[in-house]
Chains A and B, each alone.
Chain A
Amino acid sequence: SQKIEQNSEALNIQEGKTATLTCNYTNYSPAYLQWYRQDPGRGPVFLLLIRENEKEKRKERLKVTFDTTLKQSLFHITASQPADSATYLCARSDSNSGYALNFGKGTSLLVTP
């Protein structure tokens, strides 16, 4: 199956800074990439989706980029707040996957005051 790799090391940043999380994929580009937020013991919550032919997507303080040359998506949270602390999951969707999402293992973000 197509792999999704996220940095397993936790990311610690100071409140107000921009957090940048990385998602790398293997082989061919997925039809789109999705980003989810997961709080401990709770179900993932959808945040943003970016299609293969889009370079950037924004939603409030969130921004996602899709670089097919680097086979990478970056997820940015600007003006980060302690409430942004969570695990962020990247998932790829392939047009031939029958709507199955292939999730990365997630990156934990801790925003300290």
Chain B
Amino acid sequence: EAQVTQNPRYLITVTGKKLTVTCSQNMNHEYMSWYRQDPGLGLRQIYYSMNVEVTDKGDVPEGYKVSRKEKRNFPLILESPSPNQTSLYFCASSSMSGGTDTQYFGPGTRLTVL
């Protein structure tokens, strides 16, 4: 089954404790992206990657890091989480060969930073 998976699905942590949210897709998609979703603000892009070892900032990259060492994986790293990073996070992937950028989203990771 074609899918995007994220882990963990729920995470409660404390300020300053480094964490990683994993994202993996099995569709051989070149493009992968991270979003955060907050009430009243909608989906905002954090980082994206157009291929292995190619990453770029989205609209709200501050406080986040990403890496793309393999095509299928695109982890999101919070080196020193803060309470304002409490949010619902989505990973998405898309094929760049189909002529459109329809995105397939993961199930989401609900992060709470105390």
Give the B-binding residues of A (Cβ under 8 A). Answer: 1, 32, 34, 41-46, 49, 89, 93, 98-101, 103-106
Contacts and interface: CB of A to CB of B under 8 A. Distances in A.
B101 interface: yes
The A contact surface, by secondary structure, is loop
A93 B59 CA distance: 15
20 contacts: A34-B102, A41-B108, A41-B110, A42-B107, A43-B4, A43-B92, A43-B107, A44-B90, A44-B103, A46-B103, A49-B100, A89-B42, A93-B100, A93-B101, A99-B48, A100-B45, A100-B48, A105-B40, A105-B41, A105-B42
A43 B56 contact: no
B101 A101 contact: yes
A99 B42 contact: no
Contacts of A34: 102
Contact of A103 (B43, B56, B88): B43
Given A93-B100, A100-B45, 18 more contacts: A41-B88, A41-B110, A42-B108, A43-B90, A43-B92, A43-B107, A43-B108, A44-B103, A46-B102, A46-B104, A49-B102, A89-B42, A98-B56, A99-B31, A99-B48, A99-B94, A101-B45, A105-B42
Interface residues of B, number: 28
Interface string B67-99: 000000000000000000000101010101000
A44 B48 contact: no
Contacts of A32: 100
B40 to A, nearest CB: 7
Contacts of B90: 43-44
Nearest to B106: A43
A32 B101 CA distance: 10
B33 A100 contact: yes
A14 B5 CA distance: 36
A99 B96 contact: yes
